[in-house]
Amino acid sequence: FSLTQWKNYWIRGVLSLAMISGFFLIIYMGPVTLILVVMTVQIKCFQEIITIGYRVYHSYELPWFRTLSWYFLICVNYFFYGETVADYFGALVQREEPLQFLARYHRFISFALYLAGFCMFVLSLVKKHYRLQFYMFAWTHVTLLIVVTQSHLVIQNLFEGMIWFIVPISIVICNDIMAYLFGFFFGRTPLIKLSPKKTWEGFIGGFFATVVFGFILAYLLSQFQYFVCPVGFNSETNGFTVECEPSDIFVMQEYTLPAVVQNTLRWKTVNLYPFQIHSVFLSSFGSLIGPFGGFFASGFKRAFKIKDFANTIPGHGGIMDRFDCQYLMATFTHVYIASFIRGPNPSKVLQQLLMLQPEQQLSIFHTLHSHLRERDMLPPAAAQAE
């Protein structure tokens, strides 16, 4: 290797360690900091992709392109974060009258804001640039879909418990590092033409290393309430709380091993956290399907003849270059939670009940009371009177 190559590897390695250290620091600082960081990353990724479009079509001087792009970003963020506030901060909304108005008409206000931007776009159309303007309109909306929507899913995962935020992100980071190391030392067979440096050896080695890493990380984090409890809002302290009785998937359970394994290892049972089993599926996706987010990004950059999305991080490129796989992983995690993990959330139900009118609350109380008595879950009224 030349001196320049070793210098690039050194810079890349040092900055990788710095970013991993920063990741641990952000986790230590808590949910509020994590949300702010996700928003910052989202804005930077959006800016990098929109800038590429602006550079490609800059010579055409399309009117209002960047202005409208940022306006639509604001509109979409207002919609998504407004939905989050209504879902998870019901007590706060109920207490503040202006927030009650915004929560009640949130979707109408969001649509009105978007409609204003839509009309601005139509008014900005210039006869000689119709096709290019519609190209850029589509460019902006696809960018919003890729970046903003999936950033919102990252925050939704965070509210399910910090473990659902930390483990998927760590899995992608681990796979990226281990695939690079296996490819560097053992790589011989090219994997895909879009990324000539990727090899089958790195892909397969990264998979097995990531599954082991995810399994161990899941075991370590499942022991701490701070990581496994859903992130909630405490109206008394006006702050986030992570206190709860851990759900079943974070409670150690005994599993009987298959007969073949029993005969080989001489073990009949093994104690595991159920989340460790879920981590195997998350790791498998992150190492087998997750890299396709990177391949997609590589194809996008090749289409516009650029090496990186930006030069924000020396040796790594732009922020989007680091998060191309993370967004795909976040979407899978959200779908996985919704499909296999999440049940009814009592705190969200309670928040919605508190937003109802008093007579509606009484009606629900009487209905629930009758239902519980019919199932013999409450003593009869006569026994209560005695």
340: which residues sit within 8 A by CB, 6+ positions away? 278
Q: Are 110 and 116 in contact (CB under 8 A)?
A: no
Q: Where are the alpha helices (DSSP H) in the chain?
A: 3-29, 31-56, 65-88, 90-95, 97-104, 106-124, 130-143, 150-159, 162-186, 200-221, 225-228, 259-265, 274-288, 291-303, 319-336, 346-354, 358-374, 381-385
What are 272's strand-pairing partners?
253
9: which residues sit within 8 A by CB, 6+ positions away? 1
pLDDT of residue 190: 92
- Phi, psi (rounded to 5 degrees) for 304: -110, 15
Structure tokens at 156: 């939704």
Tell me the C-alpha distance between 60 and 361, whole Å. Answer: 59
29: which residues sit within 8 A by CB, 6+ positions away? none
What are 348's strand-pairing partners?
none
Q: Would you give per-residue pLDDT tens digits along the chain (386 residues)?
A: 556 666 677 777 787 788 888 888 998 888 889 999 999 999 999 999 998 888 877 656 777 888 999 999 999 999 999 988 877 776 677 777 788 888 889 999 999 999 999 999 999 998 888 888 898 899 999 999 989 999 999 999 999 999 999 999 999 999 999 998 999 889 899 998 888 888 999 999 999 999 999 999 999 999 999 999 988 777 677 777 888 888 899 999 999 988 888 888 888 899 999 999 999 999 999 999 999 999 999 899 888 888 888 888 776 788 898 888 999 999 999 999 999 997 666 666 776 787 778 899 899 999 998 888 888 887 765 345 44
pLDDT of residue 228: 93
Tell me the C-alpha distance between 249 and 188, whole Å. Answer: 41
Q: Are 286 and 175 in contact (CB under 8 A)?
A: yes
Tell me the C-alpha distance between 320 and 53, whole Å. Answer: 15
Number of other residues whose CB lies within 10 A of the CB of residue 279 = 26
CA dihedral (169, 170, 175, 180) positive or negative:
positive
Query: What count of residues does the chain have?
Result: 386
pLDDT of residue 383: 40
